[in-house]
Structure 1
Amino acid sequence: MDIKNIKGVGEKTLKYLNLLGIYSVKDAIFFFPRCYEDRRNIKPIYELCDGDIASIIAEVSIIYPSKRANNGMYINRIVFKNETGYIVGVWFNQPYIKNNFKVGQKVFLYGKISRKMGEVQIIDPQYERDIDDLKLGINPIYPSNKYLSQKVIKKIINECLKYIDKVIIDILPESLRKSLGLYDIKSAILNIHNPKDFNILSESIKRIKFEELLVLQLGIFMAKKRFENMENAYSIPVSKEMKEYKDSLPFQLTNAQSKTIREILIDMKKSKPMNRLVQGDVGSGKTIVAITALFNCAMNGYQGALMAPTEILAQQHFLSLESLLKKWQIKIALLCGSTSKKQKDEILEKIKQGEIDIVVGTHALIQENVEFKNLALVVTDEQHRFGVRQRGELINKGHNPHVLVMTATPIPRTLALFMYGDMDISIINELPAGRQKVDTYFVRPSMRDKVYDFVKKEIRNGRQAYIVCPLVEESEKLEAESAVETSKKLQEMYFKEFKIGLLHGKMNSSDKDLVMQKFKNKEIDILVSTTVIEVGINVPNATIIVIENAERFGLAQLHQLRGRVGRGSYKSYCILISEAKTDDAKERMNIMTKTSDGFIIAEKDMELRGTGEFFGTRQHGLPELKLADPIKDIELLKQTRDVAKKIIENNLIYNKDYENLVKEVDNKFNDKFNDITFN
């Protein structure tokens, strides 16, 4: 049922509802509040304590003119009175708020109480002027935009709830619900939108979360089962040259690297395709693990492919493969967007004929005209940069090839197991010998001159530096302009005697590669860059990275950027320049200075950002979760995993009672069953 058929939804309102993702009555019914106000707490003004959250019904007594503080902020004060005393409403940076009130008008206020020098204040309160329609109790607050008020959203949702019997069916079998003590779906939804008390609200939210997580777990188990039923992958034994190859490496493998390689080689022997995720922190040496797997594949006469998210990284992998495998006459090719047509045609023909053993490339590898003779191993690097469909397209170029995915975004192991079923995970949790711990500092912008003096000192000692520009969310074009401007300013004001290079997303691939090559060759002292350097660039002589406006970056991104230094034998530093005004920003800065452990950072990142953004469910092919959060609801996640497992093991998916549940799983995952990767 279309939302436009609901009373009160005209053309304008329809457009604004669409912006919130509401297109149908069902969308509106599942558009849940983001929080609640407990408006039942009406106390006499004289009883209110500092820090209370309270509701007040009072009359407008005095409206003071707006005042502008020294910091430029507007402060508005309005005095309200009732039979229990006087209270001052204080609003910041809302100079026109006074126009919404009239002396003598009765209003409802809800907000945080502050007692200062004998004065009782209510800070930035929510207010309602229509006292006749006022509903006390637990008041839902919905996600909104500047076009739709809470009042309008509530009215439309309550209209839609009248049609709940027509558009909502309970997908959980009654027997399952009763055995777990769960509410039916309609009661749960009605209670969430109009809760009577917090206990009922809590149980209602639990019901929705349970359903979301059960559908997620069932979908994952069903997709996993399909994957496990695949056979006839190439069975690749351990090459007889493996020991000689390992002995020829110019460095000693860490225990974690050796263990991961053993796990991969055991998987490759099987006729069931390997499906393994290698999690390794920044600089832990994942690349050599991938190279070893590709070496083993090539020495057995099969083809391997390595897909990287950027040309710079693809080129870096290509050079590493050439350098480490030249002794073995393995034929390696690089296929990127910038490869000339003549070269590309030649490479494509050789891949098709099986004359190339290992192909390294970017998205160019998944184009239709790339045909392999016997692709047996697919490796994707920095998995969070690729959508599931892109990885799937590369995998489909072989006959059930073995799949190895490398990521520098650690996911806590227990959570990964619950999220992805019994997937195969290898963790590289040691740094190779010679890798330097990066000292990280958080400073205010007032310290910028001292920071740049320190950069000069490092460069005079023969080292190099990165300076990362602020993140500009609006567009890559603005970000590029910001980088150009920053680089110009730094050259003119701070680093006149040094050579500055510039790197940003709007540059073409060959220009980017040229700049990086110059930086590697020490022809550039300071590389001013946007986040294009985030992934995989290896310059051992770079020992300092300065990140401007660091509060604009997420924890995982800051950790990735920090990983650009500390790659050689020199002491390395990461300096975060930030105003960090919010508690969240301060927390991120403090975490970065206290730990360099990617797994701790991953957990903190998920806590701060929520799992939706952290996992990027769209990239994993997983359906969206409206209320459930796999971090906060870990116990519920475990419970739904056990229930899903029993449903699959007992073949209940073929039971009539479970028909609606299975339909919902199919509906949520639709064609994603082919896209989901357990890595």
Structure 2
Amino acid sequence: MDIYSDIKYIKGVGPKMAENLNMCGIFNVLDILLYFPRDYENVSVHKSILECVESENVIIECNVLNILKDVRLKNNKTLSTIVFSQGENKFKGKWFNQKYAKNSFKVSNNYIITGKVNKFKEEITIMNPKIVKNTSMDSNKIIAKYPLKNNITNNFFNKIISGVLSDINITESLPLWIVDKYGFCSLEDAVRNIHSPKSSELLDESRRRLKFQELFTYSLKILMLKEFIKFHNDGIQFKIAPELTLLKDQLPFELTRAQSRVVREILIDQKRDKGMNRLLQGDVGSGKTIVAIITMFNVVKNGYQTSMMAPTEILAKQHYAEIQNVLKDFPLNIKLLSGSTSAKNKQLIKDELKNGTIDIIIGTHALIEDNVEFKNLGMVVTDEQHRFGVSQRNRFSNKGKNIDILVMTATPIPRTLSLYLYGDLDVSIIDELPPGRQKIDTSYENMSSSDHVYDFALNEINKGRQVYIVCPLVEENEDMKLSSVEMLYEKLKKEQFKDTNIAMIYGKMPSKLKNEVMDKFKDGEIKVLVSTTVIEVGVNVPNATVMIIENSERFGLAQLHQLRGRVGRGKYKSYCILLAKITNNIVRKRLEVLIKSNDGFYIAEEDLKTRGAGELFGIRQSGESGLILADVICDIDILKLANNEAKNLIQSNNSEDVVVKNDIIEKIKKSSNYICFN
């Protein structure tokens, strides 16, 4: 069987089911093999129903004794019941609101079924039983659960996977010296065991092997891209505009040493005849935007257009206002393009961009629409780059030819980690805050002390200041019992802040309403803003002096540091109070890192040590990188090994390595997947 064969030709699929699989992103045999389970269920195999334990997931062989009539319950639910037998022993299968489920069963027929056991007094029930096919009754099972839709059942998918695996041979694609060095199982065993694991040990072994495979190929791709850029990266050779001196003299502040160093690094890139690909990292409030403005100004003075893309309309408006203010003494045409720009103005802006009369355009995702064209784009800047997918950034940079690319982030990424994440980019770091930035007094309190924390916040409001209150979730989670925005907002509105103008904001709010709330907060009309982490990035309200973070033990340190950076942006003394459930010393030690330090890079390093890499960004990055199983943050230890071996392979002249390297390169060209098959 060819791994690129269309799935509609696989036995048991057919044209209709092929369409449903296409909706899951499955088009060929390779896609099926790489469609990994989202979860697994441990199921015990029992010969007798009497052996089963309460709440246990079981597989059991039985006979249908009777199919009862559906019963309508008082709560409007429909109960469907089948009586099963096992010799002299009887038990029931029950479904709520699934009348169709019993249609799969016939009286007197034997079945192997799976479900959860429920025991009440003398009656044994299996809830929501499903028929299991192609299984033996000789040992306990680990059943793969897939993220499916369009009426594709887990049973059907398992059947298709079993059929594919029985008809295909998967040959090794890593150099054998790497397989031996790390004691990996074969690629064939890894793929078979991830879909149908024989034990939890074999499943762990398979996941480790496949994660390495992905990250090895990921690293190869980045390293080869850097080599390609080095030799095939024609760029625009910009001159250093004499007006830069005038701009620098007109700034109402002096650049820090770090800002001046980074400006020089970017200007040197601009002078070269190679395209710039640079990542600008700077802690919250370090002054990345002014660096971007200076370097964009140089491009404009060379006769080219520049563009900056931000992830939210709030941040785009903020950049627009700052760029207009800094460059107000220069005759430049600066425009803002976002989702809320009227249709008439959008068309005018697009016409001006195309004919070259706009010098600088700031915007959101609206900038990457197909009908947005530039006359002579010279440089693009992406702010908070991790908020954009890879394809979005590529579409933005493809708006011009041989353009310079600057990506900025305030997310503090440890220096060692950035080498693996951004191996194709040159990295500049602003590691110094401008003078005058207020030191933020940071403290932590137990959740039980929240009343006096809110009294303190009210006292600051009475002085004329404003307050942020951040929650980790939008809706109440019964398992975790975490505060939600709505519940906390209603509580505070009725109690502590009943005579204060209070509002809430969260990610899924309509953009128009979100922008209205944010504008009123920035204008000082709203005094207390209850929010999710939507306010984490870029919002600048100098009058806000208090940041209260509920359930702060649930956040990564790096994310808490970013949230803290929303205050201390004006002339007033500022405070960050971390409300947490301090249940042990680990929580206390983590929070103390924030009290001791204001260095985002140090905090990020500590986050890696104390919590692990998974919370570095506060969100999982899968989907952004194109990885299926691995995560460049969570699996940093595997990434380091894989990156090192990828470097060794690229430098190797061994004939076996050259064959493997060339084969992987061909597979990368043919597919966007990082798990490559020979």
TM-score of the aligned structures, taking structure 2 as reference length: 0.71
The match for 1:665 is 668
Q: Which has the higher helix share?
A: 1
**The residue matched to 1:632 in structure 2 has which SS?**
helix
> Amino acid of the residue matched to residue 645 of structure 1?
I
Range moving further from structure 2, 556-565 or 160-169: 160-169
> In the alignment, which of 596, 602, 612 is matched to residue 607 of structure 1?
612
> Amino acid of the residue matched to residue 172 of structure 2?
D
Deviations 1:109-142 (A, max 9, x none): xxxxxxxxxxxxxxxxxxxxxxx9567xxx9797
Q: 2:200, 2:334 → 1: CA distance?
A: 66
The match for 2:275 is 273
The runs of 5 or more residues in structure 1 that have no matched partner are 8-14, 38-58, 64-95, 103-131, 146-151, 476-480, 673-679
The match for 2:637 is 632
> In the alignment, which of 423, 428, 431 is matched to residue 426 of structure 1?
428
Maintained 8 Å contact 2:604/2:616: no
The match for 1:99 is 119
> Aligned in 2, Cα 1:330/1:453: closer, same or farther, shift over 3 Å?
same
**The residue matched to 2:239 in structure 1 has which SS?**
coil
> Amino acid of the residue matched to residue 246 of structure 1?
K
Deviations 1:134-183 (A, max 9, x none): 67xxx9797899xxxxxx99x96999499467242211355775688765
> In the alignment, which of 454, 457, 461 is matched to residue 456 of structure 2?
454
By how many angstroms is 1:555 displaced?
4.0
By how many angstroms is 1:288 displaced?
0.9
Q: 2:465, 2:492 → 1: CA distance?
A: 18
Q: 2:243, 2:303 → 1: CA distance?
A: 13
**The residue matched to 2:119 in structure 1 has which SS?**
helix
Q: 1:500, 1:179 → 2: CA distance?
A: 60
Deviations 1:445-501 (A, max 9, x none): 3212101110111122232111234522699xxxxx964664444233222343334
> Amino acid of the residue matched to residue 420 of structure 1?
Y
**The residue matched to 1:276 in structure 2 has which SS?**
strand
> Aligned in 2, Cα 1:305/1:657: closer, same or farther, shift over 3 Å?
closer
> Amino acid of the residue matched to residue 272 of structure 1?
K
Deviations 1:405-456 (A, max 9, x none): 1111122222221333353011111111111232333323321210111011
Range moving further from structure 2, 627-636 or 325-334: 627-636
Deviations 1:631-657 (A, max 9, x none): 22355134323234226x88988x555
Q: 1:3, 1:456 → 2: CA distance?
A: 65
Q: 2:8, 2:547 → 1: CA distance?
A: 51
The 5-angstrom pairing of residues 201-600 of structure 1 reads 207-421=209-423, 423-472=425-474, 483=485, 486-505=488-507, 507-579=509-581, 589=591, 591-600=593-602
The match for 1:42 is none
- Aligned residue-pair number: 579
By how many angstroms is 1:365 displaced?
1.2
Q: 1:349, 1:628 → 2: CA distance?
A: 42
Maintained 8 Å contact 2:214/2:674: no
By how many angstroms is 1:276 displaced?
0.5
**The residue matched to 2:413 in structure 1 has which SS?**
coil
> Aligned in 2, Cα 1:140/1:430: closer, same or farther, shift over 3 Å?
farther
Q: 1:542, 1:20 → 2: CA distance?
A: 46
> Aligned in 2, Cα 1:551/1:332: closer, same or farther, shift over 3 Å?
same
**The residue matched to 1:327 in structure 2 has which SS?**
coil
By how many angstroms is 1:576 displaced?
2.5
Range moving further from structure 2, 655-664 or 412-421: 655-664
> Aligned in 2, Cα 1:451/1:215: closer, same or farther, shift over 3 Å?
same
By how many angstroms is 1:394 displaced?
1.7
Range moving further from structure 2, 24-33 or 366-375: 24-33
> Aligned in 2, Cα 1:330/1:187: closer, same or farther, shift over 3 Å?
same
**The residue matched to 2:636 in structure 1 has which SS?**
coil
**The residue matched to 1:494 in structure 2 has which SS?**
coil
Whether 1:646 aligns to 2:651 is yes
> Amino acid of the residue matched to residue 648 of structure 2?
V
> Aligned in 2, Cα 1:626/1:140: closer, same or farther, shift over 3 Å?
farther
Deviations 1:327-358 (A, max 9, x none): 12222111112122332222222222221111
Q: 1:535, 1:236 → 2: CA distance?
A: 31
**The residue matched to 1:439 in structure 2 has which SS?**
strand
By how many angstroms is 1:308 displaced?
0.9
The runs of 5 or more residues in structure 2 that have no matched partner are 2-6, 13-19, 43-49, 55-115, 123-136, 148-153, 478-482
Q: 2:220, 2:165 → 1: CA distance?
A: 29
Maintained 8 Å contact 1:304/1:357: yes
Maintained 8 Å contact 1:549/1:578: yes
The match for 2:88 is none
By how many angstroms is 1:565 displaced?
0.4
> Aligned in 2, Cα 1:182/1:505: closer, same or farther, shift over 3 Å?
closer
Range moving further from structure 2, 359-368 or 607-616: 607-616
Maintained 8 Å contact 1:374/1:398: yes
Q: 2:146, 2:510 → 1: CA distance?
A: 39
By how many angstroms is 1:388 displaced?
1.6
Q: 2:146, 2:354 → 1: CA distance?
A: 54
TM-score of the aligned structures, taking structure 1 as reference length: 0.71
Q: 1:340, 1:447 → 2: CA distance?
A: 48
Maintained 8 Å contact 1:172/1:660: no
> Aligned in 2, Cα 1:157/1:177: closer, same or farther, shift over 3 Å?
farther
How large is the Cα RMSD of the aligned pairs? 5.0
